Amino acid sequence: MNSSLRKVIKSQKIYPPDEAAFKLVYLAMRNISKKWTMHIRD
């Protein structure tokens, strides 16, 4: 998950405002979670 988030963040050429950055991370995590195949451990 960390490497996928890092890839999304590094692809940005210009640093967006705070709200846009949070939205970018949220949407990236949503896309990453769709690819999970194993159960989340407690």
Give the residue, 1 or 4, on which the prediction is more confident.
4
**17 found inside a domain:** yes
Q: What's the structural domain count of the chain?
A: 1
| Tokens read off for 24 | 């970018």
Residue 18, in any domain of the structure? yes
Residue 13 lies in a domain: yes
pLDDT at 31 over 80: yes
In a domain, residue 19? The reply is yes
- Let me know if residue 21 belongs to a domain: yes
Q: Answer yes or no: are the C-beta atoms of 5 and 29 closer than 8 Å.
A: yes
Q: Would 23 be classed as within a structural domain? A: yes
Structure token pair of residue 42: 């407690």
Query: Is residue 42 pLDDT above 70, yes or no?
Result: no
Structural domain of residue 13, as residue ranges?
2-34
Task: Go through 20-34 and write b for each residue having 16 or more CB atoms within 10 A of its CB, e for each that does not.
Answer: eeeebeeebeeeeee
Domain-embedded: residue 40: no
Report the Cα–Cα distance between both ends of the chain, in Å, rounded.
17
DSSP annotation of 11? T
Can you tell me the mean pLDDT for 22-28?
A: 86
